[in-house]
């Protein structure tokens, strides 16, 4: 392919809608191939990293370094028997995994993979499309992906999948609110909902002169809007059903959750949707908070770091780093209880988010939004997050009742309760054996003292 590479520039909304049909088709194929290939490599990457954390090799037989193991597993799933439960709703049961996959892949259509470049003489952004409300499109795709899980659990006609689907609906309501509020801070700072506009806004870093030294002020929103970044990432883990928030598919209590009754290709589609959603949300986090395709600070010392096709390398590097954090969480943290999960979303993330938005709105009301104000926002955000972490009220532990209080509190005529501390008294046979051995122990002790 003869590609002419010119100096890159930030794309705007006016640059979209002018590409020929073959270039638009190529972008769509690239976005779909990126999601599919990232999923295949993501499964292999997770198994290798978790294996390394657990001091075991992971897949290493099929292909070099086990790279073809995921492909072999996919082929094996395709030839397995496809079982349809008798009580299932056949139409919904079939389309539920499809909804999850399509929603996860569609979110990649508004992600900027790089700046505007020249391809076969056509100046075009490295992005399928962009709209003034592109971030709302991403939120809509994330919400629709959860509907696939809910419908899959309901259409199975079984108890455990239904419970997994209900958990997923509660999870969507709880963490969509926190995710949406964390993005409000990005809208307020960038002044746009366009993904390309948000990436361009993060490149407007100014410099602060102190004692003759010039210090770069934070341009990435992960630094400038630190509380929003942390809350968004936590909510993103909950939205993608990843550990420690994988309650809709908690195999320790729900067998396999919403996909218990699925097999063959339908089961593979649910697995595919989870990993595509993980890659898509990592790309969204990179776009909203990590500067998108822009190079990090040490690389920006090179004048051509953000020109040509190099920005795609920085973008993919950030995405891989976030996927590694996903895997790290799975290999480190245990699954939360359902009450802990809901309490954390409604009583911790939501109040902190609301307070931070009020503080940011007050600081944004300052007319002169210059270097001093940007540093002030960063310091205040870090302080709010630190104070909320240190002084957040925790539940007081209720005093443990004594065994006598437990016995007195039971209703009259009920069966006796076992002691709560599991101090079960010995059985009559055990007491008899101990009594028979005590005289022998006493005699042996007296003889040893005489010696």
Query: What does the pLDDT average to over 107-122?
Result: 88
Q: Say yes or no to pLDDT of 449 above 50.
A: no
Structure-token match 């006598």, residue found = 404
138-188 confidence digits (pLDDT tens) = 988 888 888 888 888 888 888 888 888 888 888 878 888 889 999 998 988
- Least Cα distance to 235 among 277, 157, 178, 192 occurs for 178
**Domain presence at residue 409:** no
Q: Vertex 186, ends 183 and 187: CA angle to 5°?
A: 90
- Least Cα distance to 200 among 318, 298, 122, 115 occurs for 115
Angle in degrees, 0-180, between the axes of helices 69-78 and 264-289, rounded to the nearest 10: 140
Query: Per the structure, how many domains does the chain have?
Result: 1
249/132: higher pLDDT = 132
Q: What is the pLDDT of residue 6?
A: 41
Q: Vertex 13, ends 12 and 16: CA angle to 5°?
A: 105
Local confidence band at 285 (pLDDT 50, 70, 90 cut-offs): very high
Query: What does the pLDDT average to over 228-239?
Result: 90
Please report the beta strands in 279-373, taking only residues with DSSP state E, as ranges in sequence order.
Answer: none
Tokens of 288: 């909203």
**Domain presence at residue 218:** yes
Q: What is the pLDDT of residue 209?
A: 44
Average pLDDT, the chain: 80
**Domain presence at residue 250:** yes
Local confidence band at 395 (pLDDT 50, 70, 90 cut-offs): low
Q: Which domain holds residue 138?
A: 13-297+307-391
**Domain presence at residue 430:** no
Q: What is the pLDDT of residue 451?
A: 45
Query: What does the pLDDT average to over 289-308?
Result: 84
Looking at the chain, the whole-number percentage of residues with pLDDT higher than 90 is 18
Dist CA 293 CA 112 (whole Å): 7
Give the SS3 label for residue 416. Answer: coil
Sign of CA dihedral 315, 317, 319, 321: negative
Question: Which residue intervals of 365-427 are DSSP H helices?
Answer: 371-391, 403-409
Dist CA 145 CA 239 (whole Å): 9
**Domain presence at residue 134:** yes
Dist CA 447 CA 441 (whole Å): 10
Q: Vertex 287, ends 282 and 291: CA angle to 5°?
A: 120
Tokens of 333: 């943290």
Helices and strands in the chain, H and E counts: 17, 4
**Domain presence at residue 442:** no
Count of CB atoms situated within 10 Å of the CB of 170: 16
**Domain presence at residue 451:** no
Dist CA 33 CA 104 (whole Å): 13
**Domain presence at residue 424:** no
Element housing 400 (H / E): none
Dist CA 39 CA 241 (whole Å): 16
């Amino acid at each position: 392919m003869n590609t002419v590479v010119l100096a890159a520039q930030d794309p705007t909304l006016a640059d979209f809608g002018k590409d020929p049909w073959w270039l638009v088709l190529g972008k769509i194929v690239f976005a779909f191939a990126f999601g599919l290939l990232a999923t295949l490599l993501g499964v292999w990457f997770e198994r290798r990293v978790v294996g390394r954390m657990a001091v075991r090799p992971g897949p290493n037989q099929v292909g070099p370094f086990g790279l073809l193991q995921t492909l072999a597993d996919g082929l094996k799933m395709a030839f397995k028997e496809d079982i349809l439960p008798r009580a299932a709703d056949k139409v919904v049961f079939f389309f539920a995994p499809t909804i999850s996959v399509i929603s996860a892949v569609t979110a990649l259509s508004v992600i900027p993979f790089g700046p505007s470049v020249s391809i076969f003489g056509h100046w075009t952004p490295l992005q399928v499309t962009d709209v003034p409300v592109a971030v709302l499109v991403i939120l809509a795709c994330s919400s629709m992906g959860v509907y696939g899980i809910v419908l899959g659990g309901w259409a199975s006609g079984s108890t455990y999948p239904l419970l997994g689907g209900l958990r997923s609906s509660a999870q969507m309501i709880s963490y969509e609110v926190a995710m949406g509020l964390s993005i409000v801070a990005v809208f307020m700072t960038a002044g746009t909902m366009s993904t390309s506009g948000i990436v361009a806004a993060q490149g407007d870093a100014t410099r602060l002169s102190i004692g003759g030294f010039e210090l770069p002020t934070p341009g990435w929103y992960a630094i400038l809007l630190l509380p929003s970044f942390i809350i968004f990432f936590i909510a993103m883990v909950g939205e993608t059903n990843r550990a420690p928030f994988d309650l809709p598919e908690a195999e320790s209590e729900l067998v396999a959750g919403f996909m218990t009754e699925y097999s063959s290709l339908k089961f593979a589609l649910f697995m595919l949707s989870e990993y595509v959603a993980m890659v898509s949300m990592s790309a969204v986090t990179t776009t909203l908070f990590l500067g998108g395709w822009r190079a990090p600070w040490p690389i920006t010392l090179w004048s051509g770091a953000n020109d040509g096709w190099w920005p795609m390398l920085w973008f993919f590097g950030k995405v891989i780093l976030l996927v590694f954090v996903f895997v790290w969480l799975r290999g480190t943290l245990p699954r939360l209880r359902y009450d802990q999960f809901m309490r954390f979303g409604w009583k911790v993330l939501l109040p902190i988010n609301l307070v931070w938005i009020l503080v940011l709105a007050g600081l944004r009301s300052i007319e002169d939004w210059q270097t001093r104000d940007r540093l002030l926002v960063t310091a205040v955000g870090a302080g709010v997050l630190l104070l909320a972490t240190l002084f957040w009220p925790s539940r007081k532990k209720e005093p443990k009742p004594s065994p006598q209080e437990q016995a007195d509190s039971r209703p009259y005529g009920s069966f006796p309760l076992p002691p709560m501390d599991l101090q079960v008294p010995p059985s009559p046979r055990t007491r008899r054996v101990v009594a028979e051995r005590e005289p022998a122990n006493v005699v042996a002790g007296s003889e040893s003292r005489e010696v």
